[in-house]
Amino acid sequence: MSQLRPSHEELINGYLDGMLTADQEAELNVWVKASSANAAIFAEWVAFDTRLAEHCRNASVIQTNAAGLQKTIRPLPVKRLIRDKMKFAGGIAASILVLLMVFSWRPSSRLNASTELDRLIAIEPDSADRSYRITNLDPYPESVEERRPPLEGAMLHVRQPNSYVLERMFTDGSLFLTGCDGESSWALPPKGKVIVSRDLERFRGPLPGHQHGLPFVNLKSDLQQLREAYDLALLPEDQKKGLNGLVGFKKSHEYRGARQVLIWYDGKTGVIRKMQFEGLPQARGGPASVAVDLVDQGRKPDRYYQHSSHHDSNREVVED
Amino acid sequence: MDERMRQATRLWTLALPAVSWFVASQVRVVQDRDDILQDTVVAVIDSFDRYNPSQPFVAWAVGIARNQVLLYFRRKNRERTVFDSLAMEALVQAFSETVTESTVRLDFLGDCMQGLDETARELCRLRYELDMKPATIAVKLGTTANNVAKSLQRVRDRLRDCIEHKTRALESGL
């Protein structure tokens, strides 16, 4: 630290590294409580440093995996948490486990999460059409932007593999559609040009969980990526509805996507009825938590997933 | 999963970053933070019925974490903590308000880490992955603790500048 009176940044860095003298700690204390702005600066520094530490620790885990060590999926232990095995970055897994314990909730003893996911992956997806409604679960409404309609109330129509249409509505009732027919993807705003791309993932950004290819658009691939990026556990079977459930906790900050994913599916057919994403990345806006519910399995017209089915021939179509 | 647990889980997931950061700001021993976090989530669930939904959940949860932190210091017979009650109250407020914006900006950290040179990455590895303090790093590298501390500050500044740059680029629509 400099011989001159240290700046607040030097004090903060010194605190983060455990380098402050008692006098300097006192000075930091005085500075933090002097104003809410100072407290906010300090808080932001701590958030940054903590995330940096998590990133560095997780990077070593990923390198270890890449060296060929198998990281197997295991059900979360129901027994008391083992203190020195839980990393700070795994706090969410620890937190959820404690929640399970407090509510005397135990995973199904009949099934194993890993086995169950393998079973779902092995089921050949049919070519039926399925429609899902997306609901914003945040306690506050999504901010609406001029060119980005909200996800709340959006409808996602899917046909395996790789065909989808996402309908989002602006507050004035106009629709913004994005989709893919398996050969090209497209974006159809309420007015203006239709944009088409050979990149099938070009317009998947608004789909919650898209960072792992979730949800639903290419189900087999999606579930395989879920296995790669998340630690999984079983949810109790909902016998009334005949639904099984899985909950996944993201293994590492290296993986982008929701911190937590919950899936409820038909135990016999493997059809996914509901997904819930918690802690979605916020860098590009949108809600932090959403639910995606199956609402319809009616057949769509054959060309439904082509953009031409959704606009008249006068619309200009441009290649991205 | 009943509705109460579903709601508690959802709210806790949203609050966890702010709570984690608050605990990290007060408790420098990484392993102890886990214990405090676990005690906090139990306390949150135990008192969830008393949570008033008109109050921001994050602030409420961080307040509970503060109480757990104080209990922790008492158990450790720590007579003096760095932050007095006024400073701690200011930090509870600050962390409660920081979470959304910080989470968005910090998503860029991974990209920014790619831009670090080998020396900077090694320094981060020693400091964060191996949890070595500057004095220990200094011995390893054959320099002084002060030099190591300054180097760490420079690395942090570089990363923060990168995050700031990417955030501004995103906001301007690039």
Give pLDDT tens digits for A277-292.
Answer: 877 766 566 677 788 8
Q: What pLDDT, on the 0 to 100 scale, is given for residue B91?
A: 95
Q: What pLDDT, on the 0 to 100 scale, is given for residue A199?
A: 84
**Do the Cβ atoms of A108 and A234 come closer than 8 Å?**
yes
User: Is a pLDDT exceeding 70 seen at residue A210?
Assistant: no
Q: What string of DSSP letters covers chain A?
A: --SSPPPHHHHHHHHHTT---HHHHHHHHHHHHH-HHHHHHHHHHHHHHHHHHHHHHHHHHHHHHHTT------PPP-SPP-GGG--GGGHHHHHHHHHHHHTT----SS--HHHHHHHHHHSPP---EEEEEEEE-SSSPPPPBTTB--STT-EEEEETTTEEEEEEE-TTS-EEEEEEESS-EEEE-SSS-EEEES-TTTT-TTSTTGGGTTTTTTHHHHHHHHHHHEEEEEEEEETTTTEEEEEEEE--TTS-S-SEEEEEEETTT--EEEEEEES---TT-S-S-EEEEEEE-PPPPTTTTSGGGGS-TTS-EEE-
User: Is a pLDDT exceeding 50 seen at residue A105?
Assistant: no
C-alpha B118, offset from chain centre = 25
The pLDDT > 90 percentage for chain A reads: 21
First-last CA distance in chain B: 42
Would you call B82 and A14 a contact, using CB atoms and an 8 Å cutoff? no
Q: What pLDDT, on the 0 to 100 scale, is given for residue B78?
A: 63
Partners of A312 in beta bridges: none
Q: What pLDDT, on the 0 to 100 scale, is given for residue A87?
A: 36
Q: In the predicted model, what is the mean pLDDT of chain A?
A: 74
**Do the Cβ atoms of A230 and A248 come closer than 8 Å?**
yes
A18 CB neighbour count, 10 Å cutoff: 11
Q: Classify residue A106 by burial, with Cβ atoms within 10 Å: 0-12, 13-18, 19+.
A: exposed
Q: How many whole angstroms separate alpha carbon A168 and alpha carbon A177?
A: 6
Distance in Å, alpha carbon of B7 to nearest chain A alpha carbon: 10
What residues of B are in contact with residue A28 (Cβ under 8 Å)? 82
Distance in Å, alpha carbon of B49 to nearest chain A alpha carbon: 13
How confident is the model over B1-15, as pLDDT tens digits? Answer: 567 777 888 888 888
> Phi, psi at residue A287, to the nearest 5°?
-70, 160
User: Is a pLDDT exceeding 80 seen at residue B44?
Assistant: yes
User: Higher-confidence residue: A264 or B132?
Assistant: B132
Q: How many whole angstroms separate alpha carbon B80 and alpha carbon A197?
A: 62
Q: What is the mean pLDDT of residues B63-70?
A: 94
How confident is the model over A67-84, as pLDDT tens digits? Answer: 433 333 233 332 233 333
Q: What's the ipTM?
A: 0.94
Q: What pLDDT, on the 0 to 100 scale, is given for residue A13?
A: 96
> What predicted TM-score, i.e. pTM, was given to this entire model?
0.54
pLDDT confidence bin for A169, thresholds 50/70/90: confident
User: Is a pLDDT exceeding 90 seen at residue A34?
Assistant: yes
Residue B90 at interface with chain A, using a CB cutoff of 8 Å = yes
Q: How many CA atoms lie within 13 A of A59 on its CB side?
A: 19
C-alpha A90, offset from chain centre = 16
Would you call A33 and B9 a contact, using CB atoms and an 8 Å cutoff? no
Q: How many whole angstroms separate alpha carbon A268 and alpha carbon A234?
A: 16
**Do the Cβ atoms of B21 and A47 come closer than 8 Å?**
yes
Distance in Å, alpha carbon of A99 to nearest chain B alpha carbon: 7
Would you call B13 and A289 a contact, using CB atoms and an 8 Å cutoff? yes
How confident is the model over A50-67, as pLDDT tens digits? Answer: 999 988 887 665 454 444
Distance in Å, alpha carbon of B98 to nearest chain A alpha carbon: 7
Q: What pLDDT, on the 0 to 100 scale, is given for residue B110?
A: 87
Candidates B36, B72, B102, B152: best to mutate against A (most CBs of A within 10 A) is B102
CA triplet B92, B98, B101: central angle to 5 degrees?
170
pLDDT confidence bin for A142, thresholds 50/70/90: low
The structure tokens listed for B64 are: 């509970």
What residues of B are in contact with residue A83 (Cβ under 8 Å)? 31, 34-35
Q: How many whole angstroms separate alpha carbon A52 and alpha carbon A45?
A: 10
